[in-house]
């Protein structure tokens, strides 16, 4: 992973939870042995159902919560080995856009101070030029100078998300972790925010980890796609490989649920049996086998490794070749 700007290696995280004050505590394994990397200028889409561990991965990468196991590297340097000044530099270079554009903003601060605070923390505010730089950032995300003196509650959801984006880019980061940044917005506003993120990527040379459950958005934005199920990555590859030559039944089921807008296109809708298993009591062997329409005996006894099925295309399925064939020839 030496060519990756930000990477995770065998990342795992569990939480101790209880159903009530007198109930015994149990282990909820949110993330299990997750490995991926993000190259400079690349967008990696992280997709999956709610509760699969996507947001936990984002918080781990940001250092907001510590991993139980595994390594997070930035520019090849392990986060755990970073000195204090290196860690401060890391938190400047890796920023986050949160899902809820209201609760992630301090309601008692004016917008100009919300955006300018990041400049102060990292010592990036030019002498006497903090206000000018703040207004420049607001303009970059489509807001006006007069908005700097208002409070977050005075804005719409889409405008509040623009404020969050301005705060994230204020310190000139290299990577942005975007955790469901458009899921709380109306469809028309979603398109505007997505276009803004793409424009900023081009203008600022950003890399993204784009976390979402909407595969149509993931396909539009991502260069590569990773699909998570029950805390594990079950498939990862280029956007075209995952969407057109998928190698895992879960990916196939997710894609079958994406609405088609062109007339005359028919596709088989795959209805998965039952609900997703609880991470408090995950299935043995393949985590997807209780819901998989193709499951065989080996799926119930052996854990499928995440292995290369084609060039740069990995999937964790015993039956990939039998079900889907070889996606691409090896180089």
Residue 301 included in any domain? yes
Query: Model confidence at 258, in pLDDT bands (50, 70, 90)?
Result: confident
Residue 273 included in any domain? yes
Residue 287 included in any domain? yes
Chain segment 120-140, per-residue pLDDT in tens: 988 887 777 889 999 999 999
How wide is the angle at C-alpha 282 spanned by C-alphas 258 and 178, nearest 5°?
A: 45
Alpha helices in 230-326 (DSSP H): 239-244, 249-256, 297-301, 320-324
Residue 235 included in any domain? no
pTM of structure: 0.92
Residue 169 included in any domain? no
Contact 14/66 with Cβ under 8 angstroms? no
Task: State the pLDDT at residue 330.
Answer: 44
Alpha helices in 70-175 (DSSP H): 84-93, 111-121, 130-140, 157-169
Written as six digits, the tokens of 112 are 């100009």
Residue 210 included in any domain? no
Residue 272 included in any domain? yes
What's the per-residue H, E or C state across 37-73? EECCCCEEEEECCCCCCHHHHHHHHHCCCCCCEEEEE
Name the burial class of residue 294, with classes exposed (0-12), middle (13-18) and buried (19+) by CB atoms within 10 angstroms of its CB: middle
How many other C-beta atoms are found inside a 10 Å radius of the C-beta of residue 13? Answer: 22
Chain segment 19-75, per-residue pLDDT in tens: 777 788 889 999 999 999 999 999 999 999 888 999 999 999 999 999 999 999 999
Residue 310 included in any domain? yes
The domain in which residue 278 lies consists of 247-259+268-330
Contact 178/146 with Cβ under 8 angstroms? no
User: What's the structural domain count of the chain?
Assistant: 1
């Amino acid at each position: 992973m030496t060519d990756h700007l930000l990477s995770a290696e065998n990342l795992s995280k569990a939480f101790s939870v209880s159903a009530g004050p007198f109930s015994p505590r149990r282990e909820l394994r949110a993330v299990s042995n997750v490995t991926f990397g993000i190259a400079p200028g690349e967008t990696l889409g992280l997709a999956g159902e709610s509760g699969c561990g996507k947001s936990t991965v984002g918080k781990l990468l940001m250092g907001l919560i510590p991993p139980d196991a595994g390594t997070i590297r930035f520019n090849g340097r392990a986060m755990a080995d970073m000195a204090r000044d290196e860690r401060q530099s890391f938190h400047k270079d890796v920023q986050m856009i949160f899902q809820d554009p209201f609760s992630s903003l301090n309601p008692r601060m004016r917008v100009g101070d919300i955006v300018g605070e990041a400049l102060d923390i990292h010592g990036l505010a030019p002498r006497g030029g903090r206000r000018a730089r703040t207004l420049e950032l607001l303009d970059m995300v489509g807001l006006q100078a007069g908005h700097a003196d208002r409070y977050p509650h005075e804005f719409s959801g889409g405008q509040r998300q623009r404020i969050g984006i301005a705060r994230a880019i204020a310190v000139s980061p290299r990577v942005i972790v975007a955790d469901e940044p458009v899921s709380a917005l109306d469809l028309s506003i979603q398109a505007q925010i997505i276009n803004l993120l793409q424009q900023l990527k081009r203008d600022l040379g950003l890399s993204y980890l784009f976390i979402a459950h909407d595969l149509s958005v993931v396909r539009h934005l991502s260069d590569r796609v990773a699909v998570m199920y029950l805390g594990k990555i079950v498939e990862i590859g280029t956007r075209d490989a995952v969407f057109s030559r998928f190698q895992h039944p879960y990916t196939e089921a997710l894609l079958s649920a994406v609405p088609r807008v062109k007339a005359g296109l028919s596709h088989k809708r795959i209805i998965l049996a039952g609900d997703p298993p609880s991470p408090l009591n995950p299935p043995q062997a393949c985590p997807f086998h209780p819901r998989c329409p193709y499951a065989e005996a080996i799926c119930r006894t052996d854990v499928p490794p995440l292995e290369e099925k084609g060039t740069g295309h990995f999937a964790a399925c015993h039956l990939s070749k039998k079900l889907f064939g070889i996606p691409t020839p090896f180089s």
